[in-house]
Amino acid sequence: MVFPHSAAWIWWPTGLVLHASVGAIWAIFYAYFFWSTFPWPPAIQGLAFSIIPIVLTGLVMQPQLGWMHPLVLSGEIPRPGIFGLGLGWGGPVSNILGHAVYGLTMGALYTRPVGSPVRRRALAHA
């Protein structure tokens, strides 16, 4: 959608960079607000966190992209709709599995951040 009339070698890497950038922003959000909030193993914390982008993608991004995509507007492919249900079973499954893998990976890699857990009190200096 950034370069709709260009070759795939131009728009494919652009889309990957944009998607990776959003993933990096989500990772920072995870590290700042979510890490060590629950007493679960890190990978499970990441999986639980992935529910947030799953829901936002399914309820906001996929329906909105359906209103902007040139192939949808020309009638060549169907509108994805909520959770990609308009694309068949592959739409919702790929959304859920892709974000679950992202959350598991992020949780497994992000195990020892700088700082202390959220619920731990700082010791007062004498």
> What pLDDT was estimated at residue 85?
92
> What pLDDT was estimated at residue 39?
82
Q: Record the pTM.
A: 0.76
For 94-116, what is each residue's pLDDT tens digit? 999 999 999 999 998 887 665 55
Query: What is the mean pLDDT of the segment spanning 66-76?
Result: 84
Residue-by-residue DSSP string for the chain = --STTS-HHHHHHHHHHHHHHHHHHHHHHIIIIITTSSSS-HHHHHHHHTHHHHHHIIIIIHHHHHHH-HHHHTTSS----GGGGGG-THHHHHHHHHHHHHHHHHHHH-SS-SS--TTPPPPPP-
What percentage of the chain carries pLDDT values higher than 90? 37
